[in-house]
Amino acid sequence: MPVSGECALCKKESELKLSHIIPKFVYRALKKDSFTGRLRLSTEPNRAIQDGEKMYLLCDECEKNFNEFETIFSNKVYIPFKSDGFNNTLKYDGDWLCRFITSVSWRTLFLDIKGFEEEQNPNERIDEKRLQLLKKSEEIMRKYLLKERMNIDYIKNHIFFFDTVEESDGLSNPHTTIQGSVFGFSVGYDEENTSYVISNLSGIIIVTILKEHSQELWHNTFVKNEPGKIKVPQNVKSPVMSEIPRIQKILENYKRDLSENQRKQIQDKITKDIEGFKNSGSYRRIMLDAKLKENQ
């Protein structure tokens, strides 16, 4: 049945589309790259899913506007990175890259603000000052995406390509953790009241900084609201990167909580198709992590 309501972006009453929070092409590629051809939630490891999170969020017009940025990003950034890695220079003409990152971060931020406002547990609530920062930032991003303003003010977008890792600091399985997962959430830290939105597009990490740390360091990652380029080497020093080890722990718990029945099904599938497993992205990530441990 059609769902009617207020579009989260343009605020017009209309029929709402079932919108992906993280773009569909990311999940589609990860499913194709996975040996099992399935996706699983870290919170429900024994339930296979066919697609990423979707919500009735946007009207048809706003959905089409987002699809425009997503198609360009997929063709010019995501597919080339997945095929050949990132070892050269990404040149972007116009503001499409800034708009793509803003569109992904805005969706996550909009839903997180809604969750924070509806939270009943006092231990889970965020303080009013931080909530106001999030709401102010969401409004700036929303108006930018609607082209009601030409910039995103104090907000900064960054992109980091998590390619083949030669040295690992604090991560035991970086390739499996980052290249084999998809996530997006907003996060804040008490130290200097820093605030971010971080998303992982199975190896491409995009970060929108709402309030940065005084010692923040991002080298060759900043995305301009105009033509520009991203080149190697990339270096990052930021509180938000502490989320990566946390994600690894979540995925380790996911593996631990996988039922014996699910383990057996996966093992049986591998046994029946050894060559298929060896040609999969799942196997490639496992072997890259194994090689990294050997060299340490």
- The answer to whether the CB of 166 falls within 8 A of the CB of 291 is no
How many angstroms from the chain centroid is the CA of residue 253? 20
Query: What is the spatial order of strands in the sheet that 182-189 belongs to?
Result: 182-189, 194-201, 204-211, 156-161, 222-223
Q: Decide: pTM greater than 0.75.
A: yes
Which letter does DSSP use for residue 27 in this model?
H
**Could you report the per-residue pLDDT of 226-272, keeping only the tens digit for each?**
999 999 999 999 999 999 888 888 877 777 777 888 888 888 888 99
Average pLDDT over residues 189-204: 94
Burial (Cβ within 10 Å: 0-12, 13-18, ≥19) of residue 17: buried
Average pLDDT over residues 90-104: 97
- Looking at the predicted structure, is the pLDDT value of residue 44 above 60? no
- The answer to whether the CB of 46 falls within 8 A of the CB of 127 is no
- Looking at the predicted structure, is the pLDDT value of residue 202 above 90? yes
Query: Interior CA angle at 217 toward 216 and 219, to 5°?
Result: 155
- The answer to whether the CB of 53 falls within 8 A of the CB of 21 is yes
Give the phi and the psi of residue 134 in degrees, each rounded to 5. Answer: -60, -45
Measured distance CA(276)–CA(65) in Å, rounded: 38
List Cα–Cα distances, 119 to 59, 210, 256, 274, in angstroms. 26, 22, 29, 47
Average predicted confidence (pLDDT) for the chain: 90
**Could you report the per-residue pLDDT of 167-187, keeping only the tens digit for each?**
766 678 889 889 988 999 999
Question: Which pair of tokens denotes residue 132?
Answer: 């106001």
The distance between the two most distant Cα atoms of the chain, rounded to a whole number of Å, is 58
Please, where are the H alpha helices in the chain?
24-33, 60-73, 79-84, 96-118, 128-145, 174, 243-257, 260-272, 274-278, 281-295
Average pLDDT over residues 199-208: 96
